[in-house]
Structure 1
Amino acid sequence: MTPDVSPSDWLPRVVALDIDGTLLKWVEGSGQTHEEVPAAVRDAVRRAHDAGAHIVLASGRSPHGMTVIADLLGLPLDDEDPLWVVASNGAVVFRYPPLQVVHEETFDARPAVEAILREHPTALVAVEERGVGYRVNRPFPVGELSGEMVITEVRDLVAEHVSRVIIRDPDSTAEDFLELAARLGLHGTDYVVGWTAWLDLAPVGVNKASGVAHVATRLGLEAADVLAIGDGRNDIELLQWAGRGVAMGQAVEAVIAAADAVTATVYDDGAATELTRWFPVASGG
């Protein structure tokens, strides 16, 4: 798909939306977002849904942290056609409501976690505890994880295969973690670095693109049918894979370079701007 494609040539049949920095505005300087979907964005998502597009939320958040956002969208969902959600950077795919996991990928995270902790021995480690929150070696900063935090020894966190591990070092930077991950290689895993010193470990080949691809296949569709919008490094594969990948205006250069087009920033409701191109407000509406 090229950036200048016109609505008469193509219409998205799947709309894959990142959450933080795409649907929700960042709280400047905090690494967190306001849990409120702006009216313009909510209305645009509703128009896409009403026009027959399949809405897919795709985030690094755990399933527990995504159902709240699904509720905020206020889409008319029912048991026969619940929302598709790609959680944990593609490792978990579920339908909602109710929350029903339909696909999950797991891996042995122990070697990678041990390698990272040798260089960042005071780093925080978290593994999702579905339906509860996270098991952590020490508490994360307030607001960074959804649900409860259950203190657990690192050896127990990675004793069994998991779908995702979060490594967080408040004393480091995103650049530190990018260099660390590249240097270590982190064999047997894929990884993505967030806005801060936040490292997500996942099974090899598992990312938002693989998760949304699973959904598309279940729907009998393919990449060419997908419009994807995101702003983080964990959106890069998805923006490259989708028929049309759109970066939010505030995204870092690596994300913008991966996209077909760039919309306005999250502070200017960029997701609504892009969606309105394909799903315009009805005349007189």
Structure 2
Amino acid sequence: MLYTALAIDYDGTLADAGCVSPAALDALNRLKGAGFTLVLVTGRTLESLRAAFPEMALFDRVVAENGAVVHRPDTGDSTLLGPPPPVEAIEALRRKGIPLEVGQVIVASRIPHEKTMIDTFRELALDNAVEFNKGAVMVLPAELTKATGLQLALDELQLEASKVIGIGDAENDHSFLALCGASVAVANAISSVREDADLVTQGGAGDGVVELANYLIAGDLQALARRQRDHAPLTASGLRPTRSS
């Protein structure tokens, strides 16, 4: 089997408007039954994810907070890859009236508050990076990305990144998709993710995951590549030779 694991983004990829469809949930169960390792890679906090997706125990690892937290659903343990959010920044942003979600490592809000968040961290001389997920904006330690968290998860699972196929839709997915052996974009992905991906599904959030799962279980990603060339050519030749060797 060329790929033995699937790394998947949550919002806009697995979930549509925050919810996972019965068909997408069934696809995850079928992938597990076929022996695939599943890793969820999300910008959400674990608290937010638990509320939206009680079935997250289907995953062997959950990379949360945009790569800053690696969670083990089987034991309930988590590893934090960065320090807690700086209290002074949280207090300053709240004084400015910025709506916040505070995680174990990240501080998150939504556009159009990104400038205020960036300026506040700069004023406090805090060395943090800003990541965007369509309308969401997240501030976290500069060295952390979804790829950072995914790599730790793969190390724990003793999996090579070359054996993982990743699927996503937004700006903050670029890093973990580049780490994977092959990358897939759902149809509703932003243009840069679709252009960089090895394959693009015809279905959008949820439906695209079902589509990919069907091809993975059948062991025929080339069929997806052929379908893409016939109907929605966004890359030159489906899976790139350097990725599929």
Counterpart of 1:124 in 2: which secondary structure? coil
Shift of 1:244: 1.0
Counterpart of 1:22 in 2: which secondary structure? coil
Task: Give the whole-Å Cα distance in 2 for the aligned partners of 1:201 and 1:11.
Answer: 36
| Residue aligning to 2:105 | 163
On the 8 A contact 1:107/1:202 being kept in 2, the answer is no
Deviation track 1:43-100 (CA, whole Å, cap 9, x = no partner) reads: 222222112211111111111222356543784xxxxxx7311111111111114521
Structure 1 counterpart of 2:76, one-letter code: L
Give the counterpart of 2:38 among 36, 40, 55: 55
The question of 1:14 aligning with 2:5 is answered yes
Query: Where in structure 1 do 4 or more consecutive aligned residues deviate above 4 Å?
Result: 108-114, 184-187
Q: Which has the higher helix share?
A: 2
Q: Which runs of 5+ in 2 are unaligned?
A: 220-245
Matches within 5 A, 1:104-253: 104-107=80-83, 110=86, 113=89, 121-128=96-103, 163-169=105-111, 172=112, 177=114, 188-196=127-135, 198-253=136-191
Counterpart of 2:218 in 1: which secondary structure? coil
On the 8 A contact 1:239/1:258 being kept in 2, the answer is no
On the 8 A contact 1:84/1:94 being kept in 2, the answer is yes
Structure 2 counterpart of 1:43, one-letter code: D
Counterpart of 1:221 in 2: which secondary structure? coil
The question of 1:91 aligning with 2:68 is answered yes
Counterpart of 1:266 in 2: which secondary structure? coil
The question of 1:25 aligning with 2:16 is answered yes
Aligned pair count?
215
Deviation track 1:117-173 (CA, whole Å, cap 9, x = no partner) reads: 5xx944223312xxxxxxxxxxxxxxxxxxxxxxxxxxxxxxxxx51111335xx28
* RMSD after superposition: 3.3
Q: Which runs of 5+ in 1 are unaligned?
A: 1-9, 27-32, 76-81, 129-161
| Residue aligning to 2:225 | none
Shift of 1:249: 0.7
